[in-house]
Amino acid sequence: MIRVTAVHPDSIAAELGLCEGTELLSVNGRDLEDFLDWEFLTAEEELLLHVRQPDGEEIEFEIERPLGEPIGVSLEPARIRRCANRCDFCFVDGLPDGLRDVLYIRDDDYRLSFRYGNFATLTNLKPHDVERIIEYRLSPLYVSVHATDPTVRRYLLRNPTAPEVLPQLRGFAEHGIEFHTQIVMSPGVNDGPVLRQTLEELYEFGPAILGCSVVPVGLTEYSKHHLVREPTAEECKAAIGLIDERAAVARKERGINWAFGADELYFRAGVDLPVADIYDGFDQVENGVGSVRWLQQRIGSVSARLAGWEGKRIGVVTGTAMAQLMPMVLKPLAEITGAKFELIPVVNTLFGPSVTTAGLLPGTDMQRALQGRPELELALLPGESVNDDGLFIDSMSLDLLARTVPMQVRLSWDFSDALQIPAAA
Ligand code: SF4
């Protein structure tokens, strides 16, 4: 059963009399479990929909509609699948006490992997999940492999019953499922020869594995430092060497780069970022892989639409990681717009200074950084630092922050989104 949270005006659902609180029970006799069932089972032109209205009345509707016309309902969010692992580097273990309950959920959900590109380990799949992935052809999936060696992987995941990943992926690949993969690199565990072997075995798996990224493990003040540590510059450099080695083979044999390092890996190694061409379409940009090059490309592609900012003073709030790399983006942006950009790197006081990503910046830290800056006309805040309810990780709202700083603020994911809207008078 899935509950309706809203009905879109002038939609099929509105015409049928569905409303907030209607329970969607089945389509063509098949019970509905979540948004996947809803989307896949209602893809037909003709369908039999069984619902229960808030007053308890059950109704069956025979629906005929032009292909592609949506039924017009918003659904309650799916209950998140809990993770079956206990990785030493888990972000949840690195959270301080007192945050929103939802942040402490260890999610590992193949549905969100398919829909949003969240990485999943696939270690919590039940036979029914496997059937759904195949039946609905949920592809590509984003999979955290970490190591192809089953013993190393089980150790990393702290899950002695984790299934072997390569046979598992093979079972899906035989049904046409493809994968983007990642390796979170924990020094002394899955770097060095293990990393070489993992990259090699994933590549040799065949074209169903579309690519693999290597991301250095990231910890907070609260992480299990007695069990896991962050890699040194030398260890990151060594990993880049292995990525380059594998990418050279992939370019020669398949004409793609296939193996990538997260921007953070280069930053920690003190090595220049690779050029944009190597990222094979930036499939893992959300994972911090090629973010800087992607931003540069994005800005270049919309430069004609970034007008009206000449002479304006714009603050760009970011975490300390991107602060090192951001000048590579702000310089061309200043040339295109004529604005003066000022980088405002903010130290994360909630998680500790070792947490350098912009997406985890608390609202209070950004507020403090902006309050004494009346000379700025606009401040751009990292879009990923706010959830769908407009809250930062420390539960401060964007509205509150906007009301308590002396300049206009806008969220931005790629600069072009915020700067295509004209400057406020
Ligand atoms: S897979 Fe590991 S890192 Fe991810 S949520 Fe589970 S325990 Fe945490």
Interval 201-230: pLDDT, tens: 999 999 999 999 999 998 888 889 999 999
The Cα 258–Cα 250 span in angstroms is: 6
Confidence band of 425 (pLDDT split at 50, 70, 90): low
Contact 252, 235 (CB under 8 A): no
Per the structure block, which two tokens stand in for 350? 């909630």
The closest residue, in CA terms, to atom 5 on ligand 1 is 106
Q: What's the gap in Å between 104 CA and the centre of ligand 1?
A: 11
Cα of 118 from ligand 1 centre, angstroms: 12
What distance in Å separates the CA atoms of residue 107 and residue 286, rounded to the nearest whole number? 17
Q: Measured in angstroms, how far is the CA atom of residue 273 from the centroid of ligand 1? A: 28
How many Å lie between the centroid of ligand 1 and the Cα of residue 48?
40
| pLDDT tens figures, 162-210 | 999 999 999 999 999 999 999 999 999 999 999 999 999 999 999 999 9
> H or E element: which one contains 315?
strand 313-319
Which of 201-215, 280-294, 350-364, 371-385 shows the lowest per-residue confidence on average (mean pLDDT)? 350-364
The answer to whether the CB of 366 falls within 8 A of the CB of 317 is: yes
Give the Å distance between the CA of 135 and the centre of ligand 1: 26
- List the residue whose alpha carbon is closest to atom 8 of ligand 1: 90
398-410 pLDDT, tens digit per residue, is 999 999 999 999 9
Q: With 90 as the cut, is the pLDDT of residue 118 above it? A: yes
Average pLDDT, the chain: 93
How many angstroms is it from 86 CA to the middle of ligand 1?
Answer: 6
Going from the Cα of 83 to the center of ligand 1, the distance in angstroms, rounded, reads: 6
Dihedral-angle region of residue 311 (phi above 0 means left; psi in -120 to 50 means alpha; beta otherwise) = left
Is the CB of 121 inside a 6 Å radius of any atom of ligand 1? yes
Q: Is the CB of 106 under 6 A from ligand 1?
A: yes
Judged against a pLDDT cut of 80, whether residue 67 lies above it is answered with: no
Average pLDDT over residues 378-383: 95
Structure confidence at residue 355 (pLDDT): 82
In this structure, which amino acid lies at residue 95? L
Provide DSSP, 274-306. Answer: PPGGGGTTTTTGGGTSSHHHHHHHHHHHTGGG-
Q: How many residues make up the chain in this entry? A: 425
Rounded to whole angstroms, what are the CA distances from 262 to 182, 257, 338, 412? 10, 14, 31, 21
Ligand 1 pocket check for 87: Cβ under 6 Å: yes
Amino acid at 1: M
Of all atoms in ligand 1, which is nearest to the CA of residue 121? 1
Which residue is closest in CA terms to ligand 1's atom 1? 85
For 246, the token pair is 């594998």
Q: With left for phi above 0 and alpha for psi between -120 and 50, is residue 146 left, alpha or beta? A: left
| CB-ligand 1 contact for 90 (6 Å cutoff) | yes
Which of these, 171, 131, 126, 162, lies nearest to 144 by C-alpha position?
162
Angle at 270 between CA 416 and CA 245, to 5 degrees: 95
Give yes or no for residue 85 CB within 6 A of ligand 1.
Answer: yes
Q: Whose CA is nearest to atom 4 of ligand 1?
A: 90
Residues 6+ apart with CB under 8 A from 202: 145, 148, 181, 209, 212
* CB-ligand 1 contact for 92 (6 Å cutoff): yes
Tell me the residue type at 419. Answer: L
Between the alpha carbon of residue 111 and those of residues 6, 120, 125, 140, 257, the distances in Å are 22, 9, 11, 11, 27
Residue whose pair of structure tokens reads 């806008």 in the numeric block: 410
Q: Is the CB of 86 under 6 A from ligand 1?
A: yes
137 Cα: distance to centroid of ligand 1 (angstroms): 25
Residue 31's pLDDT band, with cuts at 50, 70 and 90, is very high
* Residues 314, 319: Cα–Cα separation, whole Å: 16
What is the position in ligand 1's atom list of the atom closest to the CA of 92?
8
Ligand 1 atom closest to the CA of 123, numbered from 1:
1
DSSP 330-378: HHHHHHHH--EEEEEEE--TTT-TT---GGG--HHHHHHHHHT-TT-SE
Q: Rounded to two decimals, what is the model's pTM?
A: 0.89
User: Is the CB of 108 inside a 6 Å radius of any atom of ligand 1?
Assistant: yes
With a 6 Å cutoff on the Cβ, whether 215 touches ligand 1 is no
Q: Is the peptide bond before 345 cis (omega within 30 degrees of 0)?
A: no
Q: Which of 80, 81, 82, 85 to mutate to test the pocket of ligand 1 (most atoms within 8 A of CB)?
A: 85
- Whose C-alpha lies nearest to ligand 1, atom 2? 87
Pocket probe for ligand 1: among 82, 86, 87, the residue whose CB has the most ligand atoms within 8 Å is 87
d(CA 344, CA 315) in angstroms, rounded, equals 6
